[in-house]
């Protein structure tokens, strides 16, 4: 029985040491891991919005309506 308590104690200490000194996660990666997101809609996708703005302005960077 003492062997079982010793084993559980060693595992608990190991877990605490791992949490304290193991690989550190940034706040951003914690949020991603704790709250997985679904697909991003086009109005929330910054790459899509940049491309849309570029296409609406034309290839030379001026407004498409200006001639």
**How far is the CA of 5 from the CAs of 17, 20, 28, 55, in angstroms?**
18, 22, 37, 67
Enter the pTM of the model.
Answer: 0.37
Mean pLDDT of 29-58: 73
How many C-alpha atoms does 38 have within 13 Å on its Cβ side?
A: 2
pLDDT of 18 higher than 80: yes
pLDDT band at 46 (very low <50, low <70, confident <90, very high): confident
pLDDT > 70 in the chain, percent: 63
pLDDT of 28 higher than 90: no
Tens-place pLDDT, residues 51-67: 888 888 876 655 555 55
């Amino acid at each position: 029985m003492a062997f079982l308590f010793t084993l559980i104690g060693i595992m608990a200490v190991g877990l605490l040491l791992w949490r304290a000194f193991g690989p550190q996660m940034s706040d951003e990666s914690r949020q991603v891991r704790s709250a997985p997101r679904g697909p991003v809609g086009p109005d929330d996708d910054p790459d899509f919005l940049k491309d849309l703005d570029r296409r609406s302005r034309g290839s030379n960077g001026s407004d498409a309506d200006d001639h």
